[in-house]
Amino acid sequence: MKRSLSPAVMAIIIVVVLMLDQITKYWIKTGMYLGQSYPVIGNFFRITYVENPGMAFGVRVENVYLFFGLSLLAAVLVFYYLYKLRNDGWIVQTSLSLIAAGAIGNLLDRFIYGKVIDFLDFEFFDISIPSFHLLFWHFPGYSMTRWPVFNVADSSVFVGMVVLIIYLIVLGDPLKEKRRLSSEPTHG
127-129/45-52 β-pairing: unpaired
Asked whether the beta carbons of 104 and 17 are under 8 A apart, the reply is no
Asked whether the beta carbons of 114 and 33 are under 8 A apart, the reply is no
**Active-site annotation holds for 109:** no
pLDDT values of the chain reduced to their tens digit, one per residue, 188 residues: 468 888 899 999 999 999 999 999 999 999 999 999 999 999 899 999 999 887 665 556 666 677 777 778 888 888 888 888 777 789 999 999 999 999 999 989 988 888 899 999 998 777 788 888 888 888 888 787 778 899 999 999 999 999 999 998 998 877 776 555 566 666 55
The pTM (predicted TM-score) of the whole model is 0.80
Catalytic residue among 21, 109, 118, 121: 118
**Active-site annotation holds for 118:** yes
- Extents of the domains making up the chain: 7-125+144-182
Q: Is the dihedral of CA 38, 43, 47, 48 positive or negative?
A: positive
Helix extents (H) in the chain:
7-31, 64-84, 90-113, 152-171, 174-183
Q: What pLDDT was estimated at residue 63?
A: 67
- Beta-carbon count within 10 A of 144 CB: 13
45-52/132-134 β-pairing: unpaired
d(CA 106, CA 117): 8
Catalytic residue among 21, 88, 121, 154: 154
